[in-house]
Amino acid sequence: MTRPYAGKLDIKHGTVNMSHGSGGRAMAQLIDQIFMFHFDNELLRQHNDQAAFKVNAGRMVISTDAHVIAPLFFPGGDIGSLSVHGTINDVCMSGAKPLYLSAAFIIEEGLALCELERIVISMAKASREAGVPIVTGDTKVVEKDNGDGVFITTTGVGVIPDGINISGERASPGDVIILSGSIGDHGMAVLSSRENLSFETTLQSDSAALHGLVKSMVEVAPNIHCLRDPTRGGLATTLNELALQSSVGMILDEQSIPVKAEVSGACELLGLDPLYVANEGKLICICDAADADRLLTAMHSDPQAQDAAIIGKVVADEHHMVQMQTSFGGSRVVDWLAGEQLPRIC
C-alpha cells in the first residue's frame, strides 16, 4: 500500500503537534508508525474506521473506561497498561470472556513522541498478554495546557458464557464476601510517585487483567452472585455500591482484610485509610456460603489471588450500611468515600 507521507517519524526527538490530530498526512503517519505498528493485528490491518467480527449467539457485554492519571508512569505500570487492564476488568466482572478493545487517545500538544510510544508499547504488551486485541481506535490532539499529557479511553466487548448471571443486585443475606488480595497497592504506588509527594517505597501498582482469574472462578462456581473490582473509592466505596444495589447490609471483619505493611505505613503517614485507596488488580466476589470453599481453592491456585480471603458477610439491613468489626474489638460503619480522600493535618 502506498503511504501518503514520506520517511519516518522522529520518535526519539519529536513531539506531538496539532497537525497530528488534523486528519492529514501527519496523522496518518502517527497512526501507522506508532499505533498500527505496535497494536498490529488482522482487524487493524484492514484500515477501516470500524472493526467487523463474527460473534457467537449469547449475551454480549460492553464497557468503557476513560483513563486520566498523573503521573503517566508509576511503579508497576503506566496509563497504557492501566487502560487495557481497567476495561478488561470491567468487562469480565460480568463473568464474560473479553474479546476486543477499542482505544481513543486525546493527546496534549507537546507530548514527546517517545513517551507516547512507550505508552503504546505498554498497551500492546498488556493487550497481547491478555489475549484481547485492540481492533479500532481514534486519535485527537488538544492544545497545550488543555490536557494532562494523554487521556486514553478504551471500550471492551465480551461474551458471557451461558448460565452465568453475575450482577450487582444479587447479593443476599447469608452470602459471603471474598476479596482476592491486598488492598491499596495501586493508589499508594501512584501517590508515591507524585511530583509533590515523592516518597521511597518498593510498592508496585497491582494493575492486572483479571479475566483469567474470573474464568477459573466461574468454572468452579457458576452461581457467583456479584463480582466487582474495587478501583476508585477503594474497597469501602465498592462494597457500599453493592450494598445499595442489592438492598442489603454487610458486616466486615477488619482482621481478615489483607493490607501490606508498606501500604498501611504510608497511609498512616499521610492520614489516609487503605479501605478507600484505589486498586487495579483486585476483585470482590459475593457468593453463596456453600460456594466459598471451592472458590477460595480455585483463587489460591491463581498467582493473582493467593491472598484471597473471606472478609465478611451479607446481612439484612434496611439502611444498607456496611459495618466492620474492628481488629481492636469495636465496631463501626464503613461509609462511602466523601469527596476526595484528603490528608489530615495532624
Partner 1 sequence: MKYVNEFRNGDIAASLAIVIANEVDSDRDYRLMEFCGGHTHAIFRFGIQDLMPENVTFVHGPGCPVCVLPKGRIDNAIKLVEEHDVILCTYADLVRVPASKQMSLLKAKANGGDIRMVYSTQDALQIARQNPDRQVVFFAIGFETTTPPTAVAIQQAKQEGLSNFSVFCNHVLTPPAMRHILQQDGDQSANINGILGPSHVSTIIGTQAYAFCATEFHTPMVIAGFEPLDVMQSTLMLIRQLNSGTIAVENEYTRVVTAEGNRKAQAIMQDVFELRPSFEWRGLGLMPDSALQIRDNYADWDAEQRFDIEEICSSDVKSCLCPAILRGLNKPTDCKLFGTVCTPENPMGACMVSSEGSCAAYWSYGRFRQPDNSRTEQKMQEKST
Q: Which is nearer to partner 1, 86 or 274 (CB)?
A: 274
Task: Decide: is 247 part of the binding site for partner 1 (CB under 8 A).
Answer: no
- 14: cell is 519529536
CB 343 within 8 A of CB 329: no
Residue 303 binding partner 1, by CB under 8 A: no
Q: What part of residues 77-136 is at the interface with partner 1 (CB under 8 A)?
A: none
198 is an interface residue for partner 1 by CB under 8 A: no
Picking from 88, 305, 94, the residue whose alpha carbon sits closest to that of residue 206 is 305
CA dist 200 and 113 (Å) reads 29
Site stretch for partner 1 (CB under 8 A), options 5-13, 21-29, 204-212, 318-326: 318-326
Residue 250 contacts by C-beta under 8 Å, 6 or more apart in sequence? 171, 177, 239, 242, 243, 312, 313, 314, 315, 317, 321, 322, 323
202 binds partner 1, rule: CB under 8 A: no
Tell me the closest approach of the beta carbon of residue 195 to partner 1, in angstroms: 11
- Return the H-helix or E-strand segment holding 243: helix 234-246
Q: Find the part of the chain contacting partner 1 (CB under 8 A) among 102-110, 137-145, 227-235, 330-338.
A: 330-338
Interface region with partner 1, contact rule CB under 8 A, candidates 1-9, 16-24, 223-231, 335-343: 335-343
Q: Where are the beta strands (DSSP E) in 54-179?
A: 59-67, 73-74, 77-78, 97-108, 134-142, 150-160, 176-179
Residue 339 sits in the site that holds partner 1 (CB under 8 A): yes
Q: Which of the stretches 3-11, 70-78, 137-145, 260-268 binds partner 1 when contact is defined by CB under 8 A?
A: 260-268
Of 92-100, 126-134, 141-149, 259-267: span binding partner 1 (CB under 8 A): 259-267
For residue 228, how many other CB atoms are within 10 A of its CB?
A: 21
How far, CA to CA in Å, does 38 sit from each of 10, 54, 121, 122? Answer: 16, 24, 6, 9
The residue among 52 and 338 lying less far from partner 1, judged by its C-beta, is: 338
Residues 137-196 that bind partner 1 (CB under 8 A): 196
Site string for partner 1, 269-298 (x = CB under 8 A): -x----------------------------
200 binds partner 1 (CB under 8 A): no
Residue from the set 3, 144, 232, 332 that interacts with partner 1 by CB under 8 A: 332
CA–CA dist 227, 168 (Å, integer) = 7
Rg (CA), the chain: 21
Q: Measured from the CB atom, is 41 or 325 closer to partner 1?
A: 325
Closest approach, Cβ 338 to partner 1, in A, equals 3
Name the residue among 285, 278, 269 with its Cα closest to residue 93: 285
| Sheet strands (E) in 192-340 | 226-228, 249-253, 284-287, 309-315, 322-325, 331-333
Binding site for partner 1 (CB under 8 A): 196-197, 255, 261, 264-265, 268, 270, 319, 321, 325-333, 335, 338-339, 342-346
